[in-house]
Amino acid sequence: MARAGVAMSRLEFHAVLLGIVLLAGCRAAPSTVSPTETVNIPTIAPYAVSLAPTVNVAATAPPAVSPAPTIGVLSEEYAVYAAVLNLRYHSPETLLLIRPNVYMADDPGPGARSRFAAKVPDLSPEVFDNFSAQEQALRQLQPELQLKSRYILFTDAEPESFKGEDGWEAFYATKYPDAVGIIFLSQVGLNQTMDQAFVCVGFRYWPLAGDGTYYYLRKVDGAWRVEAQELAWQE
């Protein structure tokens, strides 16, 4: 009887255990997915942060274009211009139309350098070197020229805007009857002691008519004077 009691106890234990398992299965939520139904599970990227590099707009923006630097004209350069122009024009009735922008003339070349050196044995080559080494910067003349003739810093359009020769006739007749044409002044080459100078001055007074001249000057007793000159171009 004791063994039977033990056997019955084991049987009851297994029955109770089976009941617990069945009860748990009944309480579980039933699946709403058919065995043959496909479930679309959205794929989520593991990282939502973009790995593209951050662009600093201010750092990559193109740099602002700076205007061309302006270089002032030295008092010695004004004196050189005046010495050349007063040599050619000395009537107070004459009107000189001078372009205010100093133009950058080309180096005269070895031939012209040699010819000037032959005319002026003690000519310093520094004037040519300085003449050719000028910076390509805007040089603006001011009304500081001490001339014998009247002058204006001429900024109007070229007479060709009036159509050829008729434009030049109208230019002289109606606007500037006392003018002798338009004058262009180049950069000035100076030696270190600033007592020798080299410059090119251009004149234009009719369509396809004008000339340019190189001038070598020396400063004597505080005044500039032309000692040698040579035609640079002519049309």
Residues 6+ apart with CB under 8 A from 140: 70, 73, 100, 101, 102
**Separation CA 210–CA 19 (nearest Å):** 123
- Going by C-alpha positions, the residue among 222, 189, 188, 226 that lies closest to residue 85 is 226
**41 domain-assigned:** no
**29 domain-assigned:** no
Residue range 162-219, pLDDT digits in tens: 555 577 888 888 888 999 889 999 999 999 999 999 999 999 888 778 999 999 999 9
Q: Is the CB of residue 218 less than 8 Å from the CB of residue 196?
A: yes
Q: What is the DSSP string of 153-217?
A: E--SPPGGGGTHHHHHHHIIIII-TTEEEEEEEB--EE-TTS-EEEEEEEEEEETTEEEEEEEEE
Number of domains composing the chain: 1
Residue range 70-91, pLDDT digits in tens: 556 789 999 999 999 999 999 9
**85 domain-assigned:** yes
Q: For position 171, what pLDDT does the model report?
A: 82
Q: For position 225, what pLDDT does the model report?
A: 96
Answer yes or no: is pLDDT of 113 > 90: yes
Answer yes or no: is pLDDT of 160 > 80: no
**171 domain-assigned:** yes
**220 domain-assigned:** yes
Q: Is the CB of residue 133 less than 8 Å from the CB of residue 76?
A: no
> Range of 134's domain?
70-234
What is the four-CA torsion angle of 45, 49, 52, 57, rounded to 10 degrees? 150
Q: For position 86, what pLDDT does the model report?
A: 97
Q: Is the CB of residue 189 less than 8 Å from the CB of residue 216?
A: no
**46 domain-assigned:** no
The structure's pTM equals: 0.68
Answer yes or no: is pLDDT of 127 > 90: yes
Q: Is the CB of residue 76 less than 8 Å from the CB of residue 130?
A: no
Q: Is the CB of residue 89 less than 8 Å from the CB of residue 147?
A: yes
**127 domain-assigned:** yes
Q: How confident is the model at residue 63 (pLDDT cuts 50, 70, 90)?
A: low
Q: For position 134, what pLDDT does the model report?
A: 86
CB atoms near residue 89 (< 10 Å): 19
**211 domain-assigned:** yes
Q: Give the mean model confidence (pLDDT) for residues 14-32.
A: 49
Q: Which helix (H) or strand (E) holds 83?
A: helix 75-88
Query: How many Å separate Cα 199 from the centre of its chain?
Result: 27
